[in-house]
Amino acid sequence: MPSTNSVPNRMKERLAKGEIVLSMSVRMSRTTDVVAIAETAGFDALFIDMQHSALDMDATSQLCVASRLAGVTPLVRPPSHDPHTAGRLLDTGAQGLIFPDVNTAAQAKAVAAACRFPPRGRRSMAGPAVQMGYRALPAVEQTALLNDATLVIAMVESAEGLANADAIAATDGVDIILIGSNDLCADLGIHGQFDHAKVHAAYETVAKACRAHGKHLGVGGIRNDIPLLTKFVRMGARFLSAGTDTAFLLAYAKAQATELRAIKPSG
């Protein structure tokens, strides 16, 4: 009799339906309150950024566990491609890893292997998994379920990565190609010029590669430019990194301070 066990992953379910996935990035928050905020605000995933923050393994784990309970998909961006770090992050509750600066098919193959159990990869077994509520299952069943529920996201952030986009997208085990727009612009010598022809061409190149190999396109680093984001979504993008906790807090705080400073005392 087939098992009824599964590993819910809201992000993966939405992608399978062709819907847009929105993630909220966390760099500053340390407590699980931010998970409730993300869920209430309507985000599908929490993008926990260990590359550009002081977040440690313990805080990241707490955020991952809370995300699972809230039905928000926990994603983590590790600071490197180190397979041991990748394994620990998955063991502590991440349902997807976002690897920065993936430039070649060989790198894509290595990070994908670090996230999947044999025979699909080289991830080490750790016993009952938090993603499954620590339910004990036969190893062959658990590894298959976790392999299927884990997302591997490769970031293309350089001219080299862009040149190898088709090979990266063709790599078995890579689910999403996320363009790191800020770093890509820097590498192309057009800092912050997201509407530049080179950026449009980059998205077209990666979108074509994703379509050819059945992968999903992601947009990172572009905020508040709805016309541009609309263009990229119509080009095929389905994963949007919508902004950071720091940026959201600063934007609201600045708006409130501006409104209050506009009040003039009488007399």
The β-bridge partners of 216 are: 176
Task: Catalytic residue, from 52, 81, 84, 196: name it.
Answer: 52
CB 74 within 8 A of CB 48: yes
Token pair 């992050």 is found at 89
Let me know if 191 is a catalytic residue. no
Whole-number Å distance between alpha carbons of 233 and 228 = 9
CB 72 within 8 A of CB 39: yes
What DSSP letter does each residue of 77-118 carry, written as one string?
A: E-SS--HHHHHHHHHTT-SEEEES---SHHHHHHHHHHTS-T
CB 107 within 8 A of CB 44: no
Tell me which DSSP letter residue 173 carries.
T
Q: Hey, which residues are catalytic here?
A: 52
